[in-house]
Amino acid sequence: MAITLVNPAGLPETDVYRQVSVASGTKLVFVAGQVAWDADGATVGEGDLAAQVEQCYANVGTALAAAGATFADLAKLNVHVVDWTPDKMPVLLEGIARASARLGVTPAAPATLLGVAALDVPEHLVEVEATAVVD
């Protein structure tokens, strides 16, 4: 496996991601920020953050597969959420859990959560970008 995920002593452990990823592969995969579009470009889950998070992660999975990668190859995720407030965390985690169940994976790569004022169109509430490394 090209990615080893680590929670070093001295840093807090979370259930959602690991603090560090160590990449030893040779092929880098950069996935553009994925929003809650289906294959036809229609927004999934308008007004529903959990549904949009689930669709974003599904789209990341599709993009990774096209490059010969899986969630196990993820080195880093960046999650951008419109008008972020900490009270939205349970809904965000629900969306990740639904995506994990749907895809049969546990996305645990290091992740950064960023609150943003807006995304490409008003109906998009979240965008997820990914970097993977493959042997």
For every residue of 101-118, DSSP letters joined together read HHHT----S-EEEEEES-
The per-residue pLDDT for range 48-100, each reduced to its tens digit, is 999 999 999 999 999 999 999 999 999 999 999 999 999 999 999 999 999 99
pLDDT of 1 higher than 80: no
Residue with tokens 């496996």, as numbered in its chain:
1
Claim: this prediction has a pTM higher than 0.85: yes
Of 5-14, 82-91, 114-123, least confident by mean pLDDT is: 5-14
For residue 108 the two structure tokens come to: 């645990």
Pairing of strands 20-23, 74-82: unpaired
